[in-house]
Amino acid sequence: NGYETQIGEGGTALSAGQRQRVALARALYGNPFMVVLDEPNSNLDMEGERALAEAILAIKARRGIVAIVAHRPNILTTVDFVLMMKEGRMHMFGTKQS
42 vs 31: CA distance, rounded Å: 23
Spans of the chain, pLDDT less than 70: 1, 8, 10-12
Q: What is the pLDDT of residue 71?
A: 87
Domain map of the chain by residue range? 2-95
Q: What is the pLDDT of residue 79?
A: 93
Residues 2-95: name the CATH superfamily.
Answer: P-loop containing nucleotide triphosphate hydrolases (3.40.50.300)
Q: What is the pLDDT of residue 7?
A: 74
Q: What share of the chain is helix, strand, coil (3-state, %, to 5)?
A: 40, 25, 35
Q: What is the pLDDT of residue 22?
A: 87
Please tell me the pTM assigned to this model.
0.77
